Structures are given as structure tokens and as C-alpha cells.
Amino acid sequence: VNCLKTTETTTPIVTDYDEQFYQGEVVEIMEESESEGWEGTTNHQTLQVEIENGELKGEILTLEYESTANSQKSLEVGDRVVIVEHAGAEQKEYTIFEAYRVPSLAWLFMIFVGLTALISGKKGLSSLLGLAFTFLVLIEGAVPLIIKGWDPLGVSFGAALLIMVISISLAHGFHKRTFLAIVSTAITLHLALALGWMAVSFSKLFGLGSEDAVFLSFGEFSNIDLKGLLLGAIVIGSLGVLDDITTAQTATIEEIHKANTKLHFKDLYQRGLSVGKEHIASLVNTLILAYVGASFPILILLVSSTTPLWVTLNNEFMAEEIVRTLIGSITLITAVPISTVLAAWMYGRK
């Protein structure tokens, strides 16, 4: 079997090459050495890897692998990897693509599902059904339509409304407060759409802030409106925080009403808003930290860079992330009075 010297590097999230992929396990380290270079210490390994699936299952390949201390660790016996067979070559060539992570992700997902079911019971299971429906709508509905050339913003907004109705209903049941939460979320989503459109237009963003977006602008995906895709992503991202705040506020007003049915609209609104302010204070911080956590390496580069701060912030990638964060936070804040007003009006009518 012909072998290539390979280095595992950062791989694209999606590949579209004419290649065959296999799962394998390192069964023997035949040779290992080190060398010094501009990247630091590089470890060279000659490995024997047993293929675990496909037409090559059971075969053992001899592969060379390189790793650097700054990017990834050396492989050990028992490590599982993804191997790629390169097509088109006169003699088939195989390289180690990256570590095989699916089993670890599956275990983590099982823990998540188990804890959700154990702690939340039937409501937790219902919310998991809503989560499954969300993925179904996005993967089987929204994404194929966008690829076919449909307006990304229209498709994303329609998908968000559908996800909103079904997921909130599954998670919280079919009650008056569920209906109020859905209406509140729908109103706030329209606000998020309007604010997002203004922010993207005024900031002169074109949806080209990431390498993945740039990739979409070429070849078979060149018909996709990247600006609309960015707006659609903002809308769907906003939905992720809205259903929490609207359902919580509506439930709060309902419980206050049950405790004292004599309270009118004004009293219900004031008491509900008092609770909502506390919710805002915690969720805004949570939202910002979630975005920062997802882009922590960028934050490190930002702090250590010698480029003027205003130039860095002016970069389209940074501007897109800032717009996403601020639009999400603004819609979160406005969702509190909107849902509180609707619920207080409904329960406070005499």
C-alpha cells in the first residue's frame, strides 16, 4: 500500500472531494522521531493502522504522520483516526485525515439526553422532540431550499416561525400561556428581522465575514444571497434566546394572576416586569459570554494584535459577530415588555 507523510491540520467543516473515507485504529507505532522547525518541535511517526469499516475492513496500512506540539498531539496505540483514500492517483494513496471523534460526541449526547429526561421528565422529552424537529426543519427543509436558490432570508424566517410554533408547543403544552408566548416570540422575531436588516445595511455587511461564507460564493453555491443568509442566521439565532424569555414571562404573569385574581393589567405588568428585569440581567450576560466563548481564540488574537483596535473591529468578520451579539441582546431585552404586556392584558382583563 502506498503511504503519504501526513500532518493533521485544521480541516474544513465540509469537504466535497472525490475521496473515500475510512475509520481506523492505530495498532502499532513502528518508528518515531523529532525535528526542529519554524513551527517548533515536529514529531514524525510511522504507524500501522487497521481499517475498521468499508471494503478495506481488516486491512492494515502503514502510514506516516506528523504532529506539532502547538497543533495536535502524537498518536498512540489504540487511538482511532479517519483515513482518506485519494482518488485519481495511479496507485491508491492513504493519509490520516484527523482523529475519529464521533463516539465521544455520541456519548456526550447520550449524557445530555439522559440528564434531560431524568431531571425534566416528560417536559424534557417533549423539548427533545422539539429539538429533533428543529434539526429536521433546518436540514431537510431550509438548507435544501436555500441551495436550490430560494431567498435565504425568507426561508430562514419561515423556518424560524415553524420551529417556534412546534418547539414551544411540544415543550410547554397547548395552553393559553403557550399561545401568548408564541405570539410574543413572533412579534419580537419581526423586530429582530427589522433591526438586523438595518444593522447589516448601515454597517455595509455582505455576509463574507467567514471563510465558509467566501467558499459559498464560488462554484455551485454562487447563487446564494450571502447577505440574506447572514440575516437569516441572525433571525434563527435570535429565536434561540427568545422562546426562553417569552415562555418564562408569560408563565410568571399567569402564576401572579393565580395567586391574586383581583390584580388588574397595570399591577400584573409591573410585577411581571420586575421579574423580567432580573431575567434580562442574567440572560444578557449569558448571551455575551456564549458568543465570546465561541470566539475565544479570536479574542486572544484581538488582545495581542498590534493592529489598531478600530481597524480590527472594522473587519467584516468582527463586525458580523458584533451585530449578531447586539441584535440578539436587543431582541432579548424587548421580548420582556412585549410578552409581559400581552400576558398582563390577557390575564388582567375584567
Cβ-contact 163, 169 below 8 angstroms: no
Share of the chain above pLDDT 70, in %: 91
Note the pLDDT of residue 69: 65
* Complete domains list, the chain, with CATH: 2-100 (2.40.50), 123-348 (1.20.1640)
Q: Which residues face 83 on adjacent strands?
A: 22, 96
Cell readout for 322 is 458584533
* Strand ranges across the sheet with 60-68: 2-3, 93-99, 80-86, 19-37, 40-51, 60-68, 5-7
CA angle 267, 169, 190 (to 5 degrees): 70
Q: Considering only CA atoms, which of 173, 163, 162 is closest in space to residue 121?
A: 173
Cβ count within 10 A of residue 203: 14
pLDDT in tens, 184-207: 999 999 999 999 999 999 999 988
pTM for the predicted model, two decimal places: 0.81
CA angle 230, 153, 246 (to 5 degrees): 90
Task: Name the residue type at position 159.
Answer: A
Note the pLDDT of residue 71: 63
Query: Which of the residues in the chain have pLDDT under 70?
Result: 1-18, 39, 69-72, 88-90, 350
Q: Considering only CA atoms, which of 9, 80, 76 is closest in space to residue 45?
A: 76
Note the pLDDT of residue 173: 84
